[in-house]
Structure 1
């Protein structure tokens, strides 16, 4: 789940809250090694107090999960935010990617979350994936709000708000990375892409999992999940429930048309209504219209990979067949080349015989005395009867 890209991802619906970490202003308390601010009306403080209070009594908080393996409310926001709190405490901001984070830091995050919530090992992948996103979002907040002063000059010390989380050496590495030209280029590309998304998500911080939960509650039915093209459409409407983007409108019209003549039960999931309307394959690491926490293997199953392997096998067979055809064609061309040489030799022989015949005819035509035989002209054969008579005469003489 963790992205292999640098930490330039912009804020998203599951991004960390800027106020989840208590500001360090001297008015703090310490619970189990975690700094908690005593200021009122702070969402981060409320979340921290709930979790720490439960731990102090030896209790774990419960989390509900939907059929797709995503946490849902009540409890999702608290769960995700607390993962962010713990991640910012355990993982330094100096790491540019989640892959670079040592395993020990990741395990520290998992152990803290596992000791605070009723979750089993099957949720570890989701927890660490969320931690990756939360850390990336935290770095984005730091870059946008705390990296430079009002005059645009880089601030050389960690912001006072996060002084209890960020060491000076980590801050130095953090700002050093942001001075790099390649970082600036990539960051600007991501910023421009985020300013003009093809299909802008319009539900703010409401995740697809929460949106699905709301829609199911409104219908009052016994269903536990919705088709993803319905979720995709609901995630791209404005506050009035209207579609005000041409690209989204085009996709939804196609979804609506397909839903009238297309049975999703008969088609594989990877070729459902939304896939056909968007006219594109799923990129690695996510499934469109479902939100974070649902992988392609989880949703489509292993059949997709099997189909992929099958397609590769078909391509290999086609290449082998074409290779055999090319070899046969080359053999045929070689045979034809050999036949061509024979024909050329025969043509040359016929040509030479014709030339010789022409020479003979030419000499006969140029001889004025017909009684003089040409040395090249063969003598006429004697009649058969004359040869028989001479043979008889020789036999009589021999008897005498």
Structure 2
């Protein structure tokens, strides 16, 4: 007689070492991620974005996300007590939106509000099919998409356009790593970044950045992720804004390299003691 455990093991081997609805360790780049089957959630949309073939502006996927879609498994995005997204599923969703937004939204010198609604809808539908977004929903996803799109244009400007102002021949083609950018839109974008109007705006923003004295050292997880981490490691300690501010400016050894930040941190401690 074959035991229940042996039967399970047999099925698992037939499926390449996986049981239905399970994710193997090599499929999980992030830990502590909560999953639900798509069957447990109400379908809210039908995406029009093709993710298994190169179409439109090109591939806009992360393979592991597409794989889970086929398995009908969706990570649940978590939120901390302040209502900010946190945890591995939120981090992965950010990465996914960071791939979707640049490759699906045209590279134009416009504001996000001017982008056609159908393009925004496609981004939301793709994310909604891949994650259980929860609170904030569509609004938070599109807000993040707007930021990712803006950041992408900033990256192109800083790394692929401004350094070659005196070598215009190097601006004749889009960067090789961004194959989804059409030459016509690249040419138009380059022209906008070399204009007198942009030069003026760029100069103003540079002056503002130079005035920032207390830059944080946080990676992509930002403050919400830091707070989530501290709540796990500093049990019983209230994580207030001053604690977050100081921790965000420490290096991996717990030191604050910038003397100006050290002085500001000391001032915070003294004020906290008074109150």
TM-score normalised by structure 1 residue count: 0.50
Please say which of residues 203-212 and 123-132 is displaced more in the overlay. 203-212
Aligned to 1:186: 201
1:107 positional shift: 1.6
Give yes or no for contact 1:60–1:116 (8 Å, CA) kept in 2.
yes
Q: Write out per-residue CA displacement over residues 6-54 of structure 1, whole angstroms, 9 at most, x where no aligned residue.
A: xxxxxxxxxxxxxxxxxxxxxxxx6155755xxxxxxx9xx71111011
Q: 1:55 to 1:204 in 2, by over 3 A?
A: closer
Task: Indicate yes or no: 2:256 matched with 1:243.
Answer: yes
Residue in 1 that maps onto 2:116: 102
Q: How far does residue 202 in structure 1 lie from its aligned partner after superposition? A: 2.0
Alpha-carbon distance in 2 for matches of 1:116, 1:190 = 36
Q: CA deviation at 1:113?
A: 0.7
The whole-number CA distance in structure 2 between the counterparts of 1:131 and 1:249 is 35
Any conservation in 2 of the 1:84–1:131 contact (CA below 8 Å)? yes
Question: Is 1:113 matched with 2:127?
Answer: yes
**1:292-343 deviation line (CA, Å, top 9, x unaligned):** xxxxxxxxxxxxxxxxxxxxxxxxxxxxxxxxxxxxxxxxxxxxxxxxxxxx
CA RMSD of aligned residues (A): 2.7
- Residues of 1 paired with 2:87 and 2:115: CA distance? 30
Partner SS for 2:140: helix
Aligned residue number for residue 268 of structure 2: 255
1:75, distance to aligned residue in structure 2 (A): 2.1
Residue number in structure 2 paired with 1:373:
none
Query: Whose Rg is larger?
Result: 1
Tell me by how many angstroms 1:121 deviates.
Answer: 6.7
Give the drift of 1:138: 0.8
Aligned residue number for residue 212 of structure 2: 197
| Corresponding residue to 1:161 among 163, 174, 177 | 177
Q: Distance in 2 between matches of 1:119 and 1:87?
A: 17
Pick aligned residue for 1:53 from 64, 67, 70: 67
Aligned pairs for 1:301-340 (under 5 A) are none
Counterparts in 2 of 1:133-144, with a 5 A limit?
Answer: 133-144=147-158
- Per-residue deviation, 1:251: 2.9
Cα distance 1:120–1:246, how it changes in 2: closer, same or farther (>3 A)?
same
Cα 1:195/1:205, change in 2 over 3 Å: farther
CA distance in 1, matches of 2:219, 2:257: 16
Shift of 1:122: 2.9
Aligned partner of residue 170 in structure 1, secondary structure: helix
Correspondence for 2:191: 176
Unaligned 5+ segments in structure 2 are: 1-50
